[in-house]
Amino acid sequence: MSATTGDRTNAATATVDLHARPAAPRTAALLTVDVEDWFHVNYRSFRPPAGPPALRRVEPNTDRLLELCARRGDRGTFFVLGCVAQDHPGLVRRIAAAGHEVACHGLAHELLYEQGEARFRSDVGDARARLQDLSGQSVLGFRAPSWSLTRRSLWALDALVELGFRYDASLFAVENYMYGLREAPPAPAFVRTLGGATLFEVPAPALRVGPLAIPHGGGFYLRMLPLWFERLAMRLHARRGEPSMLYVHPREVDEVEIAMPLGALESFIQSARVAAGRRKLLRLLTEHTWQPIADVYADEIAAPVV
């Protein structure tokens, strides 16, 4: 699978060279949290509030996750939005003080392919600087809002390298109307960017079965799939020498349900089986020892960017 290197304009055929240097097998359980509020969504039918929303839930919900982790000695990677860091600086300090990895989820939860390359660079650069100031950590990882690093926004991988990031965690092998890149690696691996650089990629959790990639481990998929499937997927990943991953949003542990102004289909995607999803998430958190990406892949992340 070769890249159309250098041709950033040919979005229809652009892809990444996925198997430059696969990472050594690991069987860790990776906990990742996208630190954002209830209104940080990108649904087509969603009309965000005109001004800054009065109701904020990101602090109490993230604090609940921090408490759950502290109780069991688990740690994770917290991909924090730059605007959340601006409005809730104490939250970023608490995440870092608890020993978690602070990573970047962009500035304001815009889809990369709508944001465009120039604003992506300046927004994400600002967000990273703010997160580094607050956390005292070198921010190494990035995850695109709504997995929006797709064929249309592969330029972002080069921008991340140039901004100083050491890994990306945005590629999702399952394509739908909002996100996805079916050539995403099945497990963490080095990828070759369009510009010819090498960047470590930690893809979204998807279980490969023949030609299929079954998404799981978070969001809609965790809510809809039975718990036994999630457990089976984790066992199969481990047998293959791959890590498992959970991706969590603070709103998913919220007991307060907020009615989102969405169309019927997107309302279903956002809200179906919320309570069941919360139960499964809380159960899975107790069944494994969870670790941050930067710990498990320290060697790969420290490898020189070439």
When the beta carbons of 145 and 218 are compared against Zn ion, the nearer one is 145
CA atoms within 13 A on the CB side of 183: 15
**DSSP tag of 218:** B
Cβ(234)–Cβ(206) under 8 Å? no
Cβ(155)–Cβ(116) under 8 Å? no
When the beta carbons of 76 and 145 are compared against Zn ion, the nearer one is 145
**Taking the complex as a whole, how short is the minimal distance between the CB of residue 179 and Zn ion, in angstroms?**
11
For Zn ion, the binding residue among 16, 23, 33, 34 (CB under 5 A) is 34
- Number of residues written out for the chain: 306
In the region spanning residues 88 to 147, those forming contacts with Zn ion, defined by CB under 5 A, are 145
**Taking the complex as a whole, how short is the minimal distance between the CB of residue 104 and Zn ion, in angstroms?**
11
The residue of the chain with the least Cβ separation from Zn ion equals 34
**DSSP tag of 79:** E
Kindly tell me the sign of the dihedral angle through the C-alpha atoms of 61, 146, 111, 117.
positive
**Cα 232 → chain centroid:** 22
When the beta carbons of 145 and 198 are compared against Zn ion, the nearer one is 145
**Taking the complex as a whole, how short is the minimal distance between the CB of residue 160 and Zn ion, in angstroms?**
16
**Taking the complex as a whole, how short is the minimal distance between the CB of residue 270 and Zn ion, in angstroms?**
12
**Taking the complex as a whole, how short is the minimal distance between the CB of residue 230 and Zn ion, in angstroms?**
20
**Taking the complex as a whole, how short is the minimal distance between the CB of residue 36 and Zn ion, in angstroms?**
5
Residues touching Zn ion, count (CB under 5 A): 3
H or E element at residue 118: helix 117-135
**DSSP tag of 51:** S
Cβ(178)–Cβ(200) under 8 Å? no
CA distance 161 to 109: 20
When the beta carbons of 34 and 168 are compared against Zn ion, the nearer one is 34
Helix (H/G/I), strand (E/B), else coil: 171: coil
In the region spanning residues 141 to 180, those forming contacts with Zn ion, defined by CB under 5 A, are 145
In the region spanning residues 218 to 237, those forming contacts with Zn ion, defined by CB under 5 A, are none
CA distance 49 to 38: 11
CA distance 9 to 7: 5
When the beta carbons of 109 and 192 are compared against Zn ion, the nearer one is 109
When the beta carbons of 190 and 277 are compared against Zn ion, the nearer one is 277
Per-residue mark of binding to Zn ion, 35-54 (x: CB under 5 A): -x------------------
At 42, the amino acid letter reads N
**Taking the complex as a whole, how short is the minimal distance between the CB of residue 78 and Zn ion, in angstroms?**
12
Question: Which listed range, 32-40, 129-137, 159-167, 237-245, lies at the site for Zn ion (CB under 5 A)?
Answer: 32-40
When the beta carbons of 194 and 206 are compared against Zn ion, the nearer one is 206
Which residues sit at the interface with Zn ion, rule CB under 5 A? 34, 36, 145
